């Protein structure tokens, strides 16, 4: 009887053990797997978001000094293979594993085909057929690109970008489940809601902003490869603002921050007004973005194309600036 009970226990436990085992993404077509599935059960070259940063460094023969960082140092990145990067915020744990189109030749079946989808409608159908309705979704459209992002609390983020002349550029992330839930703490306040609230005061926060410091982030290794420097971005920014009568100073309670991220052939330029604001509920001051916008695209190894994107962002900033400060 005990043997029979043990056999039955193992019989019912097998599906659980099967689900819990890690799936190596270079060997398994994960888009063909059935739910339930979590990002923490997927490995990329043997690593997952459950690994520590040190374990990843040891496995790939890297050091902490090999990490690149955003400016200010909010995130740390490490490229571990063509089309594969990891992100950390504390230099101890892994927050996300990024898989880009340069990695698709190492993938199987439907997982590889994800990178070839050419329309947003097809992307939505492709993803929801596998994982169902996303927990959060964000869509942005502009003359330069359409961007569709699907968030799943099981630890998946799918980003589809569609460019009118160069075609699609997609990537997806394996992320910490808890990290995603923290990003969207309130179920009623998704990205679209927050964006609407932000835009409603976008121009008003620029009132009486007649002088400002400028902080330029380093374009990093990606910028070095195509000949884009922080000095070039600074020159363009300062000349544009000075021309419109905005004085560039060294210190203030706010500053205009230009950040450039380049990953393979894709880039993102972001312009942010960072300001010390008071949280009245807590009676404390906090650094927050009171104005921001960004452009995402593919650069084709042309640094001036990224510079032109910065000029466009500065035009948007100045347009809101003059709404708040009409010329007399």
Q: Label residue 287 by pLDDT band (50, 70, 90).
A: low
Q: H helices then E strands: how many in the chain?
A: 9, 16
Percentage, residues of the chain above pLDDT 90: 30
Q: What is the pLDDT of residues 183-195, one digit of tens each?
A: 655 433 344 444 4
**pLDDT at residue 292, as a whole number:** 84
Q: Looking at the predicted structure, is the pLDDT value of residue 143 above 90? A: no
Q: Residues spanned by CATH 3.30.160.100 within the chain?
A: 207-324
Question: Higher pLDDT residue, 66 or 162?
Answer: 66
Determine the pLDDT at residue 28.
94
Mean pLDDT, rounded, for 219-231:
90
Q: What pLDDT band is residue 15 in, cutting at 50, 70 and 90?
A: very low
The yes-or-no verdict on residue 81 having pLDDT over 60 is yes
Mean pLDDT, residues 274-291: 64
- The fold for domain 207-324 equals Double Stranded RNA Binding Domain (3.30.160)
Query: Helix 230-243 to helix 303-324 angle, to the nearest 10 degrees?
Result: 30
| φ, ψ for residue 287, nearest 5 deg | -80, 125
Mean pLDDT confidence for 133-161: 82
Q: Which residue has the higher pLDDT, 1 or 234?
A: 234
Averaging pLDDT over each range in 32-36, 104-108, 135-139, 197-201, which range is the top one?
104-108
Compare 138 and 302 and report the one with higher pLDDT: 302
What's the pLDDT score for residue 311? Answer: 93
146, 140 contact by CB (below 8 A): yes
Mean pLDDT to the nearest integer, 76-94? 89
Residue % of the chain over a pLDDT of 70: 77
CA separation for the pair 46, 12 (Å, rounded): 28
Which residues are CB-contacts of 181 (< 8 A; sequence separation ≥ 6)?
153
Q: Bigger pLDDT: 285 or 208?
A: 208
Model pTM score: 0.59
- Average pLDDT estimate for 283-302: 75
From residue 213, how far is each of 35, 66, 273 by CA, in Å? 50, 30, 10
Q: Tokens 């003059």 identify what position?
A: 322
Which comes out higher in pLDDT, residue 148 or 179?
148
Weakest mean pLDDT among 134-143, 228-237, 276-285: 276-285
Pairwise CA distance, residues 183 & 131, whole Å: 20
**pLDDT value, residue 234:** 95
Residue 226 pLDDT:
93
* 138 vs 238, residue with greater confidence: 238
pLDDT in the model for residue 283: 55
First to last CA, the chain: 93
- Give the pLDDT score at 286: 54
Residue-level pLDDT at 181: 62
- The CA–CA distances, whole Å, from 227 to 76, 105, 131, 271 equal 22, 28, 41, 20
- The closest alpha carbon to 261, from 219, 303, 308, belongs to 219
The predicted model gives 223-234 an average pLDDT of 93
232: pLDDT strictly greater than 90: yes
- For 120-127, what is the mean pLDDT? 84
Instruction: Specify the 3-state DSSP secondary structure of 189.
Output: coil
pLDDT score of 269 more than 80? yes
Q: Which residues have C-beta within 8 Å of that of residue 64, sequence separation ≥ 6? A: 57, 91
pLDDT value of residue 9: 46
Q: 281 pLDDT exceeds 80?
A: no
């Amino acid at each position: 009887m005990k043997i029979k009970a043990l056999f039955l226990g193992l019989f019912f436990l097998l599906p659980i053990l099967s689900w819990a085992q890690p799936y190596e993404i270079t060997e398994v077509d994960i888009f063909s797997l059935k739910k339930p599935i979590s990002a923490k059960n997927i490995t990329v070259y043997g690593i997952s978001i459950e690994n520590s940063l040190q374990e990843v460094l040891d496995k790939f023969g890297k050091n902490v000094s090999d990490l690149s960082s955003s400016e200010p140092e909010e995130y740390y990145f490490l490229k571990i293979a063509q089309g594969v990067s990891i992100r950390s915020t504390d230099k101890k744990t892994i927050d996300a594993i990024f898989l880009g189109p340069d990695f698709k030749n190492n993938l199987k079946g439907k997982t590889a085909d994800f990178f070839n989808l050419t329309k947003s409608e097809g992307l939505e159908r492709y993803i929801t057929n596998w994982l169902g309705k996303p927990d959060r979704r964000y869509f942005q459209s502009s003359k330069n690109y359409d961007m569709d992002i699907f968030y799943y609390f099981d630890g998946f983020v799918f980003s589809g970008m569609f460019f009118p002349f160069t075609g699609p550029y997609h990537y997806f992330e394996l992320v910490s489940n808890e990290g995603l839930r923290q990003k969207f703490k309130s179920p009623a306040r998704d990205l679209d809601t927050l964006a609407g609230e932000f835009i409603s005061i976008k121009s008003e926060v620029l009132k009486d902003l007649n002088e400002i410091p400028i902080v330029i982030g380093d374009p990093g290794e990606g910028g070095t490869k195509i000949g884009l420097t922080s000095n070039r971005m600074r020159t363009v920014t300062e000349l544009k603002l000075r021309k419109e009568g905005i004085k560039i100073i060294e210190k203030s309670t706010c500053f205009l921050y230009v950040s450039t991220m380049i990953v393979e052939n894709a880039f993102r330029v972001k312009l942010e007004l960072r300001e010390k604001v008071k949280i009245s509920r807590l009676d404390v001051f906090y650094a927050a973005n009171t104005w921001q916008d960004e452009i995402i695209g593919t650069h084709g190894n042309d640094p001036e194309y990224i510079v032109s994107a910065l000029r466009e962002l500065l035009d948007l900033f100045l347009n809101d600036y003059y709404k708040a400060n009409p010329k007399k």
